Amino acid sequence: MKAAPVHAAFQHAGIPHAIIHTGQHYDEAMYKVFFEDLGMPRPAIDLGVGSGTHATQTASVMVGLEEFFTANRPQAVLVVGDVNSTMAAAIVCAKMGIYCAHIEAGLRSGDWSMPEEVNRAVTDTVVDLLLTPSPDADRNLLAEGCPADSIELVGNVMIDTLMVHLPRARALDVPGSFGLPPRGYAVLTLHRPSNVDAPATFARIMGAIAEIAHELPVVFPVHPRTLKQIQASGMQATIDAAKGLVLCDPLGYLEFLSLTSGARMVLTDSGGLQEESTVLGVPCLTLRENTERPITIDEGTNVLVGTDPGKILAAATAALRGDHRGRVPDLWDGHAAERIVTALTRRLA
């Protein structure tokens, strides 16, 4: 979702470029449909990294990229987000002397138990250009000693994708396929290890979700990791017994956007959905103790509820009353990719 608008902006500017797919997100349903939905070309190469420990994934990406960049040396590399591939690519570029820019730089949760926080900090330390989505990210980078002239506030590139595809997504009427009216349901996503790998934590969250589902249907597209934990923890019977809880396979980008854009509220431990719900004006209950996207709380529709059932239910009740109000942050306007390409080409020139 973050690479697609940058690809389009490069195309529009007539700048040759290639997309490298590391294969870290390796499930067929979770990545091929995204390329098709977003109109992206096939990647120049798929490294096929697949699953493994953090060290295994990071090392495999580094080896694959070093080989590819040796044979096909680029003028610059853009890395996106906060996954292992992001950090691995940034380190390879630093070692090979290739100019590197980080899209979504400067986001911080302050929680070093999150692997993504390590990836963010390492990436931002070694890249040349820090492309930030919001002013809090600029402040984080300056506080860490990053040179001010290496930072460019460009806005949120994922919102570019949302704005382009929202009409197509709504036309799909995915809520209708579930027999649900607009604003007549909630959406749940859950996949973080801290939430689904610990049976007690997982059970607390799902207990609260089951209570919400008695009042409002909850559609739950189940991530492959989460499905595995449901089966391993013996929670399937509890979930089956929860009235109003509707499980389904992972959805493509357009289908999922169709679902979330019509929701009464979303409950999630994802980062991107905190941002998308803010732009859509949909109340978001984040099932985490912290967030690297505080602007979605300060200005948007997001509320941190953690994993405490009481807090989850209280926030859900407030959302149903319509207590959540927010605004769309500055530069989340659908033109971030254009600013990214302009910033990069200006500096390379």
Residue 186 CA, distance from chain mean position: 19
Give the three-state DSSP class for 77.
strand
Angle formed at CA 318 by CA 194 and CA 320, multiple of 5 degrees: 100
Task: Give catalytic status of residue 191 as yes or no.
Answer: yes
Name, in order, each residue with C-beta under 8 angstroms of 209's C-beta and a sequence gap of 6 or more: 188, 218, 220, 242, 245, 267, 312
The Cα 26–Cα 248 span in angstroms is 19
**DSSP labels, 121-146:** HHHHHH-SEEEESSHHHHHHHHHTT-
- Tell me how far apart the terminal alpha carbons of the chain are, to the nearest angstrom: 27
Torsion sign over Cα 52, 56, 58, 63: negative
Torsion sign over Cα 346, 6, 262, 223: negative
Catalytic residue among 12, 54, 191, 214: 191
The Cα 206–Cα 196 span in angstroms is 10
Residue whose pair of structure tokens reads 């989505």 in the numeric block: 133
The Cα 64–Cα 44 span in angstroms is 13
Residue whose pair of structure tokens reads 């732009």 in the numeric block: 279
- Angstrom CA distances, 45 to 84, 242, 278, 288, stand at 18, 44, 34, 35
Return the number of other C-beta atoms located less than 10 Å from residue 344's C-beta: 25
Closest CA to 128 of 154, 106, 150: 150
Catalytic residues: 191
